[in-house]
Structure 1
Amino acid sequence: MGSDPQLCIGAVIPETGRLARLGDPLSFLLRTLAPHLSQVRNGNRRYTLRIATRDSRSDPAQARQAVRELLEQERAHIVITMAGTKVLPAVTDTCEELQVPCVSTTFPWQAYVYRGATDTRHRFQWTYHFAWGLDDIAIVFAEMWERLGSTQTVGCLWNDDLQGQLLRRGFAPVATERGHTLIDFGGYREPATDLRIHVDHLRRHGADILTSAATTTDLALFHRQAREARWRPRLITCSRWLAYPHHGIPHARDACEELAQARVATLVYWTPSHPYRSSLDGTTAAELAATYQHSTGKRWLQPLGLAHALIEVAHHALASAADPTDRGTIVQAIARTRIHTMAGLLDWTSGPTPNIALVPLIGGQWRPTRHGHELAVVTNTDMPDVPVTADVIPAR
């Protein structure tokens, strides 16, 4: 009697480099779940399943090479990946080029769909993504601003790259429609070395709140130079800084402590309190967070839920494809996927584009504690089942 046919899920993970903290959850889950994912049942057939990983090294060129190795050396049938505004597109573009199914997550869907072109939405055949939109971020941030007053004058600290361009197109109009005035001095180059001209412009134009998508070090630089100029925004909202804890990252620790004291508000897409559970074994969000903390000695972090969902979607695609050894039918399975996961309901049949499934957002604010910092939920409009744990507190 012959052995079962073999399938392979390939994962491109930033195991080293500046994005390594974001890669931790996926690496952990693949190790943890691998023994339970040794087989896939597809109809009446059973397939042996392997998990293969490659390190992107937080570098786009290495990420592209990682995809090629997964295909040539591991014969991967589907690729999953997360993390990095430049690294993730390198993975997905290579998968599109080499015609292998890919599922990704972790940044706004507009950045995924437009990728290198700001004027044209791409229709991809092989690559699929789940996340929130820039418009969703604008709504959540505006709700937090409005806790301090119905309309606000908001200073924008956005870079001069694709990220800043998309924020001006996808975030700004939504915030403006709610009655807020946005002050945008123009983009800055990352990494920033001096943001005093931005500080001075926003202060002179009466900005009372700051919104940004800056890195930890750049936001800390702005915060420090604003304090030196005796300008203190009442609230800082940032979609990029502290979406996850930075414990254990030496170059970011001081900046994180400074910003935690500033009570930066951010987006929330997953917590142990979310009413989600795994489609693989029924594990709840709370149980997943507890297992991660017990096994690693590290605090839970938001990308943990998204990483688990990546594995669920890949497994589901292999289990439901007409022929899971045929990459074309795996893509067709992803396109019709509607599944409850650790990241909530993911539905590729009703997204803003055929390649996108949406993830709801709520608002959070980081608070300093004796043990570092913790994330408090302060708005929950799109997820009323997640309890609000604190009010929005003005920045210090």
Structure 2
Amino acid sequence: MQDDLLTPAGSETRRKFLVKGSALAAASIAAPQAFAADDVIKIGYLTHRTGPFAPFAEADPFILENASKALANGLNIGGKTYRVEFIAKDDQSNPDRQSNLAAELINKDGVDLMLGQATIGPGIAQQCEINGVPCITTMGPWQAWMFPMKGDPAKGFKSVFHFFWGIDDIANVYLDIWKDLKLPKVIGAAFENTLPGNAMGDLKMGMPAMFAKAGYKIVDIGKFAPGGSDFSAQIQAFKNEGVEIVTGLFAPPEWSGFVKQSAQMGFHPKVATIAKALLFPGGVKALGKSAHGMSTEIWWSPAYPFRSSLTGQTARQLADAYTTATRKEWTQPIGVMHALIEAGVAALKASGDPKNPQKVADAIRSLRQDTVIGRLDFAGSGIKNVSKMRVVGGQWVIDDKGRLDIVVTHNGTAPEIPVQRKFELLPA
């Protein structure tokens, strides 16, 4: 595999990769037998390793090494053994660079399958659809992936596929969190002016519309610019309307600024259920003790009762392996990105001919695969070229020793995932 940018300088993981000869090339180097060029499956792996969306790809080196070990002896497909080579590149969280790199992986590297993150938009999928290269992406609401490409959920696409939750799924998780609260049904909403923020925060089609349908009054004075630091207008509006529940889509620094300004202005909501900002331990730690009780959606955690089809690891074992290898706390994208590779490998095996792009695409189209995040079902989702994934409600807690963890508090949207703790209001 290629691209040193994917491996943090000085890390233990980096040293292991470089010993093997090239950053992230474990699968191709570890294979004990020689392969002809036609016997090599090239998988493009395009993620936001640096830039503002880097937290979504923080675990890339670990995930790729973990998968490479599982694939070290190659894939036997149709009686033939293929070596698997990942070609990993960093789009630097830039949509234009992402699109250009996808074109490079297709036209220069000749990838047989593309895997990637769609947090910043559908650039990977657009290039793959134009060039007829099978592609699976994740890490963005499926609506924000499909509709910018002028897609129709009833028709789909020829070559590109996506799995993640939908805006309706997250809204249902948040409603599940709030359903038993003895609080005024008034919600203060603030969404950043980005592709996901606009899709999720649309007052007519997004999450606020679903909240209003459920009987909540919505207080929303408009989208805020990414990187914003002054939220006094939103906070004052929330105070004026008696808001006790705050929601929205924030980056971690933005949410930290909102929390500090709220304290300065004497605004103390009972519930804060926030997307994106509360996903990653690093961003939550920056909030200090005020993070205790903040809530968000959970895409994946060690508490999930599922196992990897690729490595056999349980969710807990995968998280523990990450912590052991990196000395970092687990993060939700670990499971999702691991499942992305699981889906890709399963499709290649099911295709019967991994060098035939149409057969690979057809295999993804009919794929039903159990993964470490649960079952992915492209065939039965009701949305062409899309699989939904499980998502539940959770809350950050800080114990007496100052240790931070996110626990499942609501599972109405996925009862097979166990509840770990009763939900608590934010401290007064």
Contact 2:306 2:314 in 1 (8 A): yes
Moved more, 207-216 or 110-119: 110-119
Instruction: Give the 3 Å change call, closer, same or farther, for CA 310–152 of structure 1 in structure 2.
Output: same
The yes-or-no answer on 1:140 pairing with 2:173 is yes
The yes-or-no answer on 1:91 pairing with 2:124 is yes
Q: 2:342 matched to which residue of 1? A: 312
Letter in 2 for 1:171: M
Question: Which of 216, 233, 251 is the aligned partner of 1:180?
Answer: 216
Instruction: Give the 3 Å change call, closer, same or farther, for CA 77–390 of structure 1 in structure 2.
Output: same
* CA displacement, residues 321-348 of structure 1 (integer Å, 9 cap, x when unaligned): 1421111211111001011111111000
Q: 1:230 and 1:318 mapped to 2: Cα distance?
A: 56
Contact 2:67 2:311 in 1 (8 A): no
Question: Which of 114, 127, 135 is the aligned partner of 1:79?
Answer: 114
Q: 1:256 and 1:107 mapped to 2: Cα distance?
A: 25
Q: 1:264 matched to which residue of 2? A: 294
The yes-or-no answer on 1:13 pairing with 2:47 is yes
Question: Which of 158, 161, 171 is the aligned partner of 1:125?
Answer: 158
Return structure 1 stretches of 4+ with deviation > 6 angstroms.
116-122
* Offset of residue 254 of structure 1: 6.9
Matched residue SS, 2:45: strand
The yes-or-no answer on 1:25 pairing with 2:59 is yes
Q: 2:6 matched to which residue of 1? A: none
Moved more, 165-174 or 137-146: 165-174
Instruction: Give the 3 Å change call, closer, same or farther, for CA 163–15 of structure 1 in structure 2.
Output: closer
CA RMSD of aligned residues (A): 2.4
Instruction: Give the 3 Å change call, closer, same or farther, for CA 245–207 of structure 1 in structure 2.
Output: same
Aligned length: 388
Q: 1:117 and 1:191 mapped to 2: Cα distance?
A: 29
After superposition, residues 210-359 of structure 1 pair within 5 angstroms as: 210-246=246-282, 255-257=286-288, 259-261=290-292, 263-359=293-389
Letter in 2 for 1:217: P
Question: Which of 378, 386, 393 is the aligned partner of 2:409?
Answer: 378
Q: 1:300 and 1:222 mapped to 2: Cα distance?
A: 26
* Offset of residue 253 of structure 1: 7.3
TM-score (norm 1): 0.91
Contact 1:276 1:284 in 2 (8 A): yes
Instruction: Give the 3 Å change call, closer, same or farther, for CA 313–189 of structure 1 in structure 2.
Output: same
Q: 2:209 and 2:147 mapped to 1: Cα distance?
A: 18
Q: 2:152 and 2:191 mapped to 1: Cα distance?
A: 19
* CA displacement, residues 350-394 of structure 1 (integer Å, 9 cap, x when unaligned): 224211101121100112344552102111123333332222222
Instruction: Give the 3 Å change call, closer, same or farther, for CA 117–152 of structure 1 in structure 2.
Output: farther
Question: Which of 147, 158, 163 is the aligned partner of 2:191?
Answer: 158
The yes-or-no answer on 1:36 pairing with 2:67 is no
* Offset of residue 143 of structure 1: 1.8
Q: 1:249 matched to which residue of 2? A: none
Q: 1:330 and 1:151 mapped to 2: Cα distance?
A: 51
After superposition, residues 360-375 of structure 1 pair within 5 angstroms as: 360-369=390-399, 370-375=401-406
Q: 2:324 and 2:118 mapped to 1: Cα distance?
A: 24
TM-score (norm 2): 0.84
Instruction: Give the 3 Å change call, closer, same or farther, for CA 75–211 of structure 1 in structure 2.
Output: same
Moved more, 299-308 or 149-158: 149-158
* Offset of residue 83 of structure 1: 5.6
Contact 2:229 2:258 in 1 (8 A): no
Contact 2:138 2:163 in 1 (8 A): yes
Q: 2:135 matched to which residue of 1? A: 102
Q: 1:164 and 1:67 mapped to 2: Cα distance?
A: 24
Matched residue SS, 1:367: strand
Instruction: Give the 3 Å change call, closer, same or farther, for CA 120–381 of structure 1 in structure 2.
Output: closer
Q: 1:26 and 1:345 mapped to 2: Cα distance?
A: 22
Instruction: Give the 3 Å change call, closer, same or farther, for CA 116–207 of structure 1 in structure 2.
Output: farther
* CA displacement, residues 91-116 of structure 1 (integer Å, 9 cap, x when unaligned): 22222233211111112211111237
Q: Which runs of 5+ in 2 are unaligned?
A: 1-33
Contact 2:153 2:383 in 1 (8 A): no
Contact 1:305 1:343 in 2 (8 A): yes
Q: 2:217 and 2:151 mapped to 1: Cα distance?
A: 24
Q: 1:119 and 1:357 mapped to 2: Cα distance?
A: 15
Q: 1:380 and 1:135 mapped to 2: Cα distance?
A: 15
Matched residue SS, 2:370: strand
